[in-house]
Structure 1
Amino acid sequence: MPMTPPDYAWHFTPGSAFPHRDGGTGTLAPVAIGEVTLPTGRVVACDPFVCLGEGEAEPFTVTVEPGRYRAEAAVATLARAGAAPDPHPHTRIAAARLVIRDTPAVAWEMAVVAGQDPCALGEDDYFGYGVDAGTGCFHDAAAHHSFPGVEDDDGPLWSAIDAVVDGPQVFLARGEDGHTLAGFTSGWGDGCYPTWIGRDAEGRVTCFVTDFLVVPAERVPAA
Protein backbone atom coordinates (compact mmCIF):
# COMPACT_ATOMS: atom_id res chain seq x y z
CA MET A 1 0.00 0.00 0.00
CA PRO A 2 1.34 3.47 -0.84
CA MET A 3 1.43 6.24 1.74
CA THR A 4 -1.98 6.97 3.29
CA PRO A 5 -2.76 10.69 3.30
CA PRO A 6 -4.16 12.41 6.39
CA ASP A 7 -6.89 15.06 6.26
CA TYR A 8 -4.84 18.07 5.21
CA ALA A 9 -7.56 20.53 6.27
CA TRP A 10 -6.12 19.95 9.74
CA HIS A 11 -2.80 21.50 8.70
CA PHE A 12 -4.56 24.71 7.73
CA THR A 13 -6.72 24.97 10.85
CA PRO A 14 -5.29 27.66 13.18
CA GLY A 15 -4.12 26.22 16.47
CA SER A 16 -3.65 22.60 15.36
CA ALA A 17 -0.83 21.28 17.54
CA PHE A 18 1.57 18.35 17.36
CA PRO A 19 4.72 17.08 19.14
CA HIS A 20 7.79 17.75 17.03
CA ARG A 21 11.04 15.86 16.81
CA ASP A 22 12.92 18.01 19.36
CA GLY A 23 10.52 17.06 22.13
CA GLY A 24 8.57 20.31 22.03
CA THR A 25 5.29 21.39 20.48
CA GLY A 26 4.45 22.66 17.02
CA THR A 27 1.45 24.88 16.41
CA LEU A 28 0.06 25.42 12.91
CA ALA A 29 -1.38 28.51 11.27
CA PRO A 30 -2.23 29.30 7.64
CA VAL A 31 -0.37 32.15 5.92
CA ALA A 32 -1.49 33.66 2.61
CA ILE A 33 1.01 33.70 -0.26
CA GLY A 34 -0.98 35.17 -3.15
CA GLU A 35 -2.76 34.17 -6.34
CA VAL A 36 -1.22 31.83 -8.89
CA THR A 37 -2.25 32.28 -12.51
CA LEU A 38 -3.07 29.04 -14.32
CA PRO A 39 -3.68 29.94 -17.96
CA THR A 40 -3.58 26.27 -19.01
CA GLY A 41 -4.89 24.67 -15.80
CA ARG A 42 -1.90 22.33 -15.72
CA VAL A 43 -0.37 22.50 -12.25
CA VAL A 44 3.34 22.04 -11.59
CA ALA A 45 4.92 21.60 -8.16
CA CYS A 46 8.72 21.57 -8.02
CA ASP A 47 11.91 23.12 -6.69
CA PRO A 48 12.04 26.27 -8.85
CA PHE A 49 15.80 26.69 -8.49
CA VAL A 50 16.33 23.25 -9.98
CA CYS A 51 13.57 23.06 -12.57
CA LEU A 52 12.66 26.49 -13.90
CA GLY A 53 13.80 26.89 -17.47
CA GLU A 54 15.11 23.33 -17.60
CA GLY A 55 11.88 21.61 -18.56
CA GLU A 56 12.50 18.94 -15.92
CA ALA A 57 9.23 19.33 -13.99
CA GLU A 58 6.12 17.87 -15.59
CA PRO A 59 2.56 18.95 -14.80
CA PHE A 60 0.27 16.70 -12.82
CA THR A 61 -2.10 14.55 -14.83
CA VAL A 62 -5.14 16.07 -13.08
CA THR A 63 -5.94 19.48 -14.58
CA VAL A 64 -8.28 22.28 -13.49
CA GLU A 65 -10.13 25.12 -15.16
CA PRO A 66 -7.79 27.97 -16.18
CA GLY A 67 -7.96 30.85 -13.73
CA ARG A 68 -6.37 32.49 -10.71
CA TYR A 69 -6.13 30.48 -7.52
CA ARG A 70 -4.89 31.41 -4.08
CA ALA A 71 -1.90 29.73 -2.49
CA GLU A 72 -1.18 29.50 1.21
CA ALA A 73 1.25 27.81 3.54
CA ALA A 74 0.71 25.96 6.80
CA VAL A 75 3.37 27.46 9.06
CA ALA A 76 4.47 25.47 12.08
CA THR A 77 5.78 27.48 15.03
CA LEU A 78 8.06 25.19 17.05
CA ALA A 79 8.61 25.64 20.78
CA ARG A 80 10.89 23.60 23.01
CA ALA A 81 9.42 21.95 26.06
CA GLY A 82 9.57 24.28 29.08
CA ALA A 83 11.09 27.15 27.10
CA ALA A 84 9.91 30.72 27.59
CA PRO A 85 8.01 32.36 24.70
CA ASP A 86 10.44 33.48 22.00
CA PRO A 87 9.89 36.88 20.32
CA HIS A 88 11.51 35.37 17.22
CA PRO A 89 10.12 31.82 17.16
CA HIS A 90 11.45 28.98 15.08
CA THR A 91 9.10 28.34 12.17
CA ARG A 92 8.95 25.77 9.38
CA ILE A 93 6.64 25.39 6.41
CA ALA A 94 4.75 22.18 7.15
CA ALA A 95 2.66 22.16 3.97
CA ALA A 96 1.59 24.39 1.10
CA ARG A 97 -1.61 24.31 -0.89
CA LEU A 98 -3.16 25.73 -4.01
CA VAL A 99 -6.88 26.21 -3.37
CA ILE A 100 -9.09 25.49 -6.37
CA ARG A 101 -12.48 25.80 -4.65
CA ASP A 102 -13.65 26.42 -1.10
CA THR A 103 -15.48 23.17 -0.50
CA PRO A 104 -14.39 20.56 2.06
CA ALA A 105 -12.18 17.78 0.78
CA VAL A 106 -13.65 14.38 1.65
CA ALA A 107 -11.08 12.29 -0.21
CA TRP A 108 -7.42 12.58 -1.14
CA GLU A 109 -5.44 11.11 -4.02
CA MET A 110 -1.74 11.22 -4.82
CA ALA A 111 -0.85 13.80 -7.46
CA VAL A 112 1.17 12.12 -10.21
CA VAL A 113 2.75 13.02 -13.52
CA ALA A 114 2.54 11.00 -16.72
CA GLY A 115 3.95 7.50 -16.32
CA GLN A 116 3.53 7.28 -12.53
CA ASP A 117 1.18 4.62 -11.14
CA PRO A 118 0.49 4.66 -7.37
CA CYS A 119 -0.52 0.99 -7.58
CA ALA A 120 3.12 0.14 -8.29
CA LEU A 121 4.34 1.67 -5.01
CA GLY A 122 5.43 -0.29 -1.97
CA GLU A 123 4.13 0.11 1.55
CA ASP A 124 4.15 3.75 2.73
CA ASP A 125 5.91 4.84 -0.49
CA TYR A 126 4.90 7.87 -2.51
CA PHE A 127 5.70 9.83 -5.63
CA GLY A 128 6.95 13.33 -5.00
CA TYR A 129 9.24 16.03 -6.28
CA GLY A 130 12.87 16.40 -5.34
CA VAL A 131 14.11 19.49 -3.51
CA ASP A 132 17.79 20.39 -3.75
CA ALA A 133 17.65 24.11 -2.92
CA GLY A 134 15.35 24.05 0.10
CA THR A 135 12.42 25.54 -1.84
CA GLY A 136 9.16 24.37 -3.38
CA CYS A 137 6.54 26.10 -5.51
CA PHE A 138 3.31 25.95 -7.51
CA HIS A 139 3.05 27.37 -11.01
CA ASP A 140 1.38 26.77 -14.36
CA ALA A 141 3.09 24.50 -16.88
CA ALA A 142 3.28 27.42 -19.33
CA ALA A 143 5.44 29.43 -16.90
CA HIS A 144 8.62 27.34 -17.14
CA HIS A 145 10.52 30.01 -19.07
CA SER A 146 8.89 33.08 -17.51
CA PHE A 147 11.36 33.48 -14.64
CA PRO A 148 14.80 34.16 -16.14
CA GLY A 149 17.94 34.62 -14.08
CA VAL A 150 17.43 31.74 -11.65
CA GLU A 151 20.93 30.36 -12.20
CA ASP A 152 22.49 33.84 -12.08
CA ASP A 153 21.13 34.89 -8.66
CA ASP A 154 19.05 37.45 -10.51
CA GLY A 155 15.57 37.96 -11.93
CA PRO A 156 12.01 38.01 -10.55
CA LEU A 157 12.36 34.89 -8.41
CA TRP A 158 15.32 36.30 -6.51
CA SER A 159 13.66 39.70 -6.19
CA ALA A 160 10.62 38.09 -4.58
CA ILE A 161 12.76 36.16 -2.11
CA ASP A 162 14.87 39.20 -1.23
CA ALA A 163 11.66 41.08 -0.39
CA VAL A 164 10.96 38.65 2.48
CA VAL A 165 12.53 40.45 5.42
CA ASP A 166 10.80 38.83 8.39
CA GLY A 167 8.28 36.11 9.05
CA PRO A 168 7.65 32.81 7.27
CA GLN A 169 9.67 32.24 4.13
CA VAL A 170 6.90 32.42 1.55
CA PHE A 171 6.78 34.60 -1.55
CA LEU A 172 4.86 35.34 -4.72
CA ALA A 173 7.07 35.89 -7.76
CA ARG A 174 5.79 37.72 -10.84
CA GLY A 175 7.36 36.60 -14.07
CA GLU A 176 7.03 37.42 -17.73
CA ASP A 177 3.74 37.27 -19.67
CA GLY A 178 1.65 37.67 -16.52
CA HIS A 179 2.75 34.43 -14.91
CA THR A 180 2.98 34.12 -11.12
CA LEU A 181 4.63 31.53 -8.91
CA ALA A 182 3.93 30.76 -5.25
CA GLY A 183 7.13 29.77 -3.47
CA PHE A 184 7.99 28.55 0.03
CA THR A 185 10.80 26.92 1.96
CA SER A 186 10.51 23.15 2.19
CA GLY A 187 10.02 21.99 5.76
CA TRP A 188 13.32 20.68 7.12
CA GLY A 189 15.08 21.32 3.81
CA ASP A 190 16.08 19.11 0.89
CA GLY A 191 14.33 15.83 0.22
CA CYS A 192 11.45 14.36 -1.75
CA TYR A 193 7.93 15.53 -0.93
CA PRO A 194 4.50 14.25 -1.99
CA THR A 195 1.66 16.35 -3.34
CA TRP A 196 -1.96 15.34 -2.80
CA ILE A 197 -5.20 16.32 -4.52
CA GLY A 198 -8.29 16.91 -2.43
CA ARG A 199 -11.75 16.19 -3.85
CA ASP A 200 -15.12 17.24 -2.48
CA ALA A 201 -18.30 15.17 -2.14
CA GLU A 202 -19.08 15.76 -5.82
CA GLY A 203 -15.65 14.58 -6.94
CA ARG A 204 -14.43 18.06 -7.86
CA VAL A 205 -10.83 19.11 -7.19
CA THR A 206 -10.63 21.35 -4.11
CA CYS A 207 -6.86 21.79 -3.77
CA PHE A 208 -3.32 20.56 -4.35
CA VAL A 209 -1.32 20.12 -1.12
CA THR A 210 2.42 19.48 -0.84
CA ASP A 211 3.32 17.85 2.48
CA PHE A 212 6.81 18.71 3.76
CA LEU A 213 6.59 15.97 6.38
CA VAL A 214 7.10 18.26 9.37
CA VAL A 215 4.00 16.95 11.12
CA PRO A 216 4.17 13.26 12.15
CA ALA A 217 1.53 11.44 10.13
CA GLU A 218 0.14 9.64 13.18
CA ARG A 219 -0.75 13.00 14.77
CA VAL A 220 -3.18 13.99 12.01
CA PRO A 221 -6.77 12.74 11.63
CA ALA A 222 -7.15 10.23 8.80
CA ALA A 223 -8.85 11.24 5.58
Structure 2
Amino acid sequence: MRNRIMQAARLLLCAAAAHAPVSVAAAGWDVSKASSNFELVALGDTELSGRSIGVIHMGKVELTSGRIVAADPLAQPDRPALAKTVAPGEYPVTLYQAFGRIAAAGMRFAEGKPDHWELAVLPSQDPATLKDGEIFGYPVDAGVGCYMDADTLARIDERQAQVQAQKPDADINYYDDVLASDLDANKGHYALHRPVAGKKGNVAVFWSGWGDGFYPVFWGLDKDGRPLVLLTDFGVVKNADGRREPTGQ
Protein backbone atom coordinates (compact mmCIF):
# COMPACT_ATOMS: atom_id res chain seq x y z
CA MET A 1 0.00 0.00 0.00
CA ARG A 2 1.03 3.54 -0.70
CA ASN A 3 1.59 4.57 2.89
CA ARG A 4 4.34 1.98 3.38
CA ILE A 5 6.88 4.57 2.27
CA MET A 6 6.31 6.10 5.71
CA GLN A 7 7.39 3.04 7.66
CA ALA A 8 9.57 3.82 10.67
CA ALA A 9 12.61 1.80 11.71
CA ARG A 10 11.39 -1.48 13.20
CA LEU A 11 13.38 -1.05 16.37
CA LEU A 12 12.31 2.54 16.88
CA LEU A 13 13.41 4.21 20.11
CA CYS A 14 11.81 7.55 20.76
CA ALA A 15 11.01 10.01 23.51
CA ALA A 16 7.33 9.92 24.42
CA ALA A 17 5.06 12.53 22.88
CA ALA A 18 4.46 15.63 24.98
CA HIS A 19 0.81 14.72 25.57
CA ALA A 20 1.76 11.32 27.05
CA PRO A 21 4.42 12.17 29.65
CA VAL A 22 6.39 9.32 31.13
CA SER A 23 9.45 9.00 33.30
CA VAL A 24 11.93 6.16 33.10
CA ALA A 25 14.33 5.72 35.98
CA ALA A 26 17.94 5.78 34.84
CA ALA A 27 18.71 2.72 36.93
CA GLY A 28 16.04 0.59 35.26
CA TRP A 29 12.55 0.39 33.90
CA ASP A 30 9.80 1.44 36.30
CA VAL A 31 6.53 0.49 34.60
CA SER A 32 4.44 2.31 37.22
CA LYS A 33 5.84 5.59 35.91
CA ALA A 34 5.09 4.75 32.28
CA SER A 35 1.29 4.82 32.66
CA SER A 36 -1.19 5.69 35.40
CA ASN A 37 -4.08 4.00 33.59
CA PHE A 38 -3.63 0.29 34.34
CA GLU A 39 -6.71 0.37 36.59
CA LEU A 40 -8.89 0.73 33.48
CA VAL A 41 -8.87 -3.03 32.90
CA ALA A 42 -9.82 -3.81 36.51
CA LEU A 43 -12.94 -1.62 36.69
CA GLY A 44 -16.41 -2.56 35.52
CA ASP A 45 -18.40 -0.56 32.99
CA THR A 46 -20.49 1.10 35.72
CA GLU A 47 -17.42 2.11 37.72
CA LEU A 48 -15.80 3.53 34.61
CA SER A 49 -18.95 5.45 33.74
CA GLY A 50 -18.75 7.04 37.18
CA ARG A 51 -15.32 8.29 36.17
CA SER A 52 -16.69 9.68 32.87
CA ILE A 53 -15.04 6.94 30.83
CA GLY A 54 -17.12 5.25 28.17
CA VAL A 55 -16.57 1.61 27.26
CA ILE A 56 -16.85 0.18 23.75
CA HIS A 57 -16.84 -3.59 23.41
CA MET A 58 -15.90 -3.74 19.76
CA GLY A 59 -15.71 -7.51 19.23
CA LYS A 60 -13.05 -10.20 18.96
CA VAL A 61 -9.79 -10.23 17.04
CA GLU A 62 -8.81 -13.52 15.43
CA LEU A 63 -5.23 -14.38 16.33
CA THR A 64 -4.41 -17.22 13.97
CA SER A 65 -0.79 -17.55 15.10
CA GLY A 66 -0.83 -15.76 18.47
CA ARG A 67 1.79 -13.27 17.27
CA ILE A 68 0.33 -9.83 17.95
CA VAL A 69 1.00 -6.69 15.94
CA ALA A 70 0.26 -3.38 17.66
CA ALA A 71 0.84 -0.60 15.17
CA ASP A 72 -0.55 2.08 12.90
CA PRO A 73 -1.93 -0.32 10.26
CA LEU A 74 -1.74 2.24 7.47
CA ALA A 75 1.74 3.68 8.04
CA GLN A 76 3.40 0.50 9.33
CA PRO A 77 1.28 -2.60 8.55
CA ASP A 78 4.23 -4.98 8.53
CA ARG A 79 5.68 -3.86 11.85
CA PRO A 80 7.15 -6.92 13.63
CA ALA A 81 4.97 -8.76 16.11
CA LEU A 82 5.51 -8.28 19.84
CA ALA A 83 8.08 -10.58 21.42
CA LYS A 84 5.60 -12.18 23.81
CA THR A 85 2.99 -14.44 22.20
CA VAL A 86 -0.36 -15.91 23.25
CA ALA A 87 -2.25 -19.03 22.25
CA PRO A 88 -4.09 -18.71 18.93
CA GLY A 89 -7.74 -17.85 19.44
CA GLU A 90 -10.34 -15.11 19.34
CA TYR A 91 -9.93 -12.38 21.94
CA PRO A 92 -12.19 -9.41 22.80
CA VAL A 93 -11.03 -5.83 22.37
CA THR A 94 -12.32 -3.07 24.63
CA LEU A 95 -11.92 0.63 23.95
CA TYR A 96 -11.95 3.25 26.71
CA GLN A 97 -13.30 6.62 25.63
CA ALA A 98 -12.96 10.05 27.26
CA PHE A 99 -13.24 13.65 26.06
CA GLY A 100 -14.63 12.37 22.76
CA ARG A 101 -11.50 10.35 22.02
CA ILE A 102 -10.23 6.80 22.36
CA ALA A 103 -8.12 6.98 25.50
CA ALA A 104 -6.89 3.37 25.58
CA ALA A 105 -7.41 0.01 23.89
CA GLY A 106 -7.25 -3.36 25.63
CA MET A 107 -7.24 -6.95 24.39
CA ARG A 108 -8.29 -9.54 26.98
CA PHE A 109 -6.83 -13.09 27.03
CA ALA A 110 -8.09 -14.35 30.39
CA GLU A 111 -10.18 -13.05 33.28
CA GLY A 112 -8.64 -11.57 36.39
CA LYS A 113 -6.85 -8.49 37.63
CA PRO A 114 -3.20 -8.31 36.55
CA ASP A 115 -0.67 -8.99 39.30
CA HIS A 116 1.95 -6.87 37.55
CA TRP A 117 2.62 -5.03 34.30
CA GLU A 118 5.50 -4.90 31.85
CA LEU A 119 6.30 -2.95 28.71
CA ALA A 120 5.43 -4.79 25.49
CA VAL A 121 8.49 -4.87 23.26
CA LEU A 122 9.65 -6.19 19.91
CA PRO A 123 12.05 -9.17 19.89
CA SER A 124 15.23 -7.07 19.82
CA GLN A 125 14.11 -4.39 22.27
CA ASP A 126 15.24 -4.34 25.88
CA PRO A 127 13.86 -1.76 28.34
CA ALA A 128 17.19 -1.88 30.19
CA THR A 129 18.71 0.03 27.24
CA LEU A 130 16.33 2.96 27.60
CA LYS A 131 17.70 6.29 28.76
CA ASP A 132 15.88 8.68 31.04
CA GLY A 133 12.73 10.00 29.37
CA GLU A 134 12.68 7.37 26.60
CA ILE A 135 10.20 4.60 25.97
CA PHE A 136 9.45 1.87 23.44
CA GLY A 137 6.15 2.05 21.62
CA TYR A 138 4.83 2.48 18.11
CA PRO A 139 4.59 5.58 15.91
CA VAL A 140 1.25 6.73 14.52
CA ASP A 141 1.20 8.72 11.29
CA ALA A 142 -2.35 8.09 10.07
CA GLY A 143 -4.26 8.79 13.29
CA VAL A 144 -5.13 5.16 14.08
CA GLY A 145 -3.73 2.18 15.95
CA CYS A 146 -4.62 -1.50 15.77
CA TYR A 147 -4.36 -5.02 17.11
CA MET A 148 -4.02 -7.86 14.62
CA ASP A 149 -2.24 -11.16 14.08
CA ALA A 150 1.01 -11.03 12.15
CA ASP A 151 -0.49 -13.44 9.60
CA THR A 152 -3.26 -10.95 8.81
CA LEU A 153 -0.81 -8.83 6.81
CA ALA A 154 -1.18 -11.39 4.02
CA ARG A 155 -4.94 -10.78 4.03
CA ILE A 156 -4.38 -7.01 3.80
CA ASP A 157 -2.05 -7.53 0.83
CA GLU A 158 -4.65 -9.79 -0.76
CA ARG A 159 -7.39 -7.17 -0.40
CA GLN A 160 -5.07 -4.51 -1.77
CA ALA A 161 -4.43 -6.64 -4.83
CA GLN A 162 -8.16 -7.22 -5.32
CA VAL A 163 -8.91 -3.50 -5.27
CA GLN A 164 -6.01 -2.77 -7.60
CA ALA A 165 -7.27 -5.37 -10.07
CA GLN A 166 -10.65 -3.65 -10.10
CA LYS A 167 -9.01 -0.25 -10.69
CA PRO A 168 -5.84 -1.10 -12.63
CA ASP A 169 -5.05 2.50 -13.57
CA ALA A 170 -5.86 4.07 -10.20
CA ASP A 171 -3.57 5.06 -7.35
CA ILE A 172 -5.01 2.84 -4.62
CA ASN A 173 -5.06 4.06 -1.03
CA TYR A 174 -6.10 1.42 1.52
CA TYR A 175 -7.73 3.94 3.83
CA ASP A 176 -9.84 5.66 1.17
CA ASP A 177 -10.62 2.61 -0.93
CA VAL A 178 -11.15 -0.01 1.77
CA LEU A 179 -11.03 1.00 5.42
CA ALA A 180 -12.89 4.31 5.44
CA SER A 181 -16.33 2.76 4.93
CA ASP A 182 -15.84 0.48 7.96
CA LEU A 183 -14.70 3.37 10.15
CA ASP A 184 -17.48 5.68 8.94
CA ALA A 185 -20.03 3.27 10.38
CA ASN A 186 -18.66 4.18 13.84
CA LYS A 187 -18.07 7.91 13.32
CA GLY A 188 -14.47 7.21 12.36
CA HIS A 189 -13.58 6.08 15.87
CA TYR A 190 -13.12 2.34 15.36
CA ALA A 191 -13.79 -0.68 13.15
CA LEU A 192 -13.42 -4.44 13.31
CA HIS A 193 -12.10 -4.78 9.79
CA ARG A 194 -11.96 -8.03 7.83
CA PRO A 195 -9.66 -7.55 4.82
CA VAL A 196 -10.97 -10.56 2.88
CA ALA A 197 -14.52 -11.79 3.33
CA GLY A 198 -14.75 -15.46 4.27
CA LYS A 199 -11.11 -15.72 5.39
CA LYS A 200 -9.76 -15.79 8.94
CA GLY A 201 -7.86 -12.75 10.06
CA ASN A 202 -9.37 -9.43 11.08
CA VAL A 203 -8.06 -6.15 12.46
CA ALA A 204 -9.25 -4.06 15.40
CA VAL A 205 -8.63 -0.50 14.19
CA PHE A 206 -9.20 2.48 16.50
CA TRP A 207 -8.61 6.20 16.69
CA SER A 208 -5.32 6.86 18.47
CA GLY A 209 -6.19 9.34 21.19
CA TRP A 210 -5.03 12.78 20.11
CA GLY A 211 -4.00 11.46 16.69
CA ASP A 212 -0.46 11.11 15.41
CA GLY A 213 2.18 10.48 18.05
CA PHE A 214 4.10 7.72 19.78
CA TYR A 215 2.30 5.30 22.07
CA PRO A 216 3.39 2.57 24.52
CA VAL A 217 1.81 -0.88 24.88
CA PHE A 218 1.79 -2.93 28.09
CA TRP A 219 1.19 -6.52 29.14
CA GLY A 220 -0.93 -7.13 32.23
CA LEU A 221 0.30 -10.45 33.69
CA ASP A 222 -0.83 -12.81 36.43
CA LYS A 223 1.48 -13.83 39.28
CA ASP A 224 2.97 -16.60 37.10
CA GLY A 225 3.69 -14.24 34.23
CA ARG A 226 0.81 -15.37 32.00
CA PRO A 227 -0.79 -12.63 29.85
CA LEU A 228 -4.22 -11.52 30.99
CA VAL A 229 -4.54 -8.34 28.94
CA LEU A 230 -2.70 -6.09 26.49
CA LEU A 231 -3.20 -2.33 26.87
CA THR A 232 -2.32 0.58 24.60
CA ASP A 233 -2.33 3.92 26.44
CA PHE A 234 -2.99 6.95 24.22
CA GLY A 235 -2.28 9.51 26.93
CA VAL A 236 -5.78 11.06 26.97
CA VAL A 237 -6.48 10.48 30.68
CA LYS A 238 -4.53 10.07 33.89
CA ASN A 239 -5.24 7.76 36.82
CA ALA A 240 -8.00 6.01 34.84
CA ASP A 241 -10.22 9.06 35.35
CA GLY A 242 -11.99 11.05 32.64
CA ARG A 243 -13.68 13.63 34.86
CA ARG A 244 -10.92 16.19 34.47
CA GLU A 245 -8.88 16.58 31.32
CA PRO A 246 -5.13 16.44 32.05
CA THR A 247 -3.27 19.70 31.54
CA GLY A 248 -0.44 20.04 29.08
CA GLN A 249 -2.18 18.31 26.13
The TM tier, using the shorter chain, reads 0.7 to 0.9
The alignment of Structure 1 onto Structure 2 pairs a total of residues equal to: 194
For the residue of structure 2 that corresponds to 1:171, the secondary structure is strand
Which aligned runs of 4 or more in structure 1 are off by greater than 6 angstroms? none
| Aligned equivalent of 2:106 | 97
- Equivalences for 1:1-223 in 2 at 5 Å? 1=25, 2=29, 4=33, 5-6=35-36, 8-10=38-40, 13=43, 14=45, 15-16=47-48, 27-52=52-77, 55=78, 57-76=79-98, 78=99, 91-147=100-156, 148-149=159-160, 151-152=173-174, 153-155=176-178, 157-165=179-187, 169-176=189-196, 177-216=199-238
> Which one has the bigger helix percentage?
2
| Aligned equivalent of 1:85 | none
Query: CA distance change for structure 1 residues 7 and 213 in 2, over 3 Å: closer, same or farther?
Result: closer
Query: CA distance change for structure 1 residues 182 and 12 in 2, over 3 Å: closer, same or farther?
Result: farther
Give the CA RMSD over aligned residues: 2.4
Contact kept, 8 Å, 2:71 with 2:138, in 1: the verdict is yes
Between the aligned partners of 2:36 and 2:88, the Cα distance in structure 1 is: 28
Contact kept, 8 Å, 1:194 with 1:211, in 2: the verdict is yes
Contact kept, 8 Å, 2:37 with 2:240, in 1: the verdict is no
For the residue of structure 2 that corresponds to 1:9, the secondary structure is helix
Between the aligned partners of 1:67 and 1:16, the Cα distance in structure 2 is: 27
| Aligned equivalent of 1:22 | none
Contact kept, 8 Å, 1:134 with 1:185, in 2: the verdict is yes
For the residue of structure 1 that corresponds to 2:155, the secondary structure is coil
Q: Cα offset for 1:29?
A: 2.4
Identity of aligned residues (%): 34
Query: 1:97 is matched by which residue type in structure 2?
Result: G
Contact kept, 8 Å, 1:11 with 1:95, in 2: the verdict is no
> Which one has the bigger strand percentage?
1
Between the aligned partners of 1:133 and 1:12, the Cα distance in structure 2 is: 30
Query: CA distance change for structure 1 residues 16 and 218 in 2, over 3 Å: closer, same or farther?
Result: closer
Between the aligned partners of 1:28 and 1:11, the Cα distance in structure 2 is: 12
Contact kept, 8 Å, 2:38 with 2:240, in 1: the verdict is no
Between the aligned partners of 2:240 and 2:151, the Cα distance in structure 1 is: 37
Range moving further from structure 2, 111-120 or 172-181: 172-181
> TM-score normalised to the size of structure 2?
0.71
Between the aligned partners of 1:47 and 1:204, the Cα distance in structure 2 is: 26
Q: Cα offset for 1:151?
A: 2.3
Gap regions ≥5 residues in structure 1: 19-25, 79-90
Contact kept, 8 Å, 1:46 with 1:138, in 2: the verdict is yes
Query: CA distance change for structure 1 residues 196 and 190 in 2, over 3 Å: closer, same or farther?
Result: same
Gap regions ≥5 residues in structure 2: 1-24, 161-171, 243-249
For the residue of structure 1 that corresponds to 2:154, the secondary structure is coil
For the residue of structure 2 that corresponds to 1:50, the secondary structure is coil
Between the aligned partners of 2:180 and 2:37, the Cα distance in structure 1 is: 33
Query: CA distance change for structure 1 residues 17 and 11 in 2, over 3 Å: closer, same or farther?
Result: farther
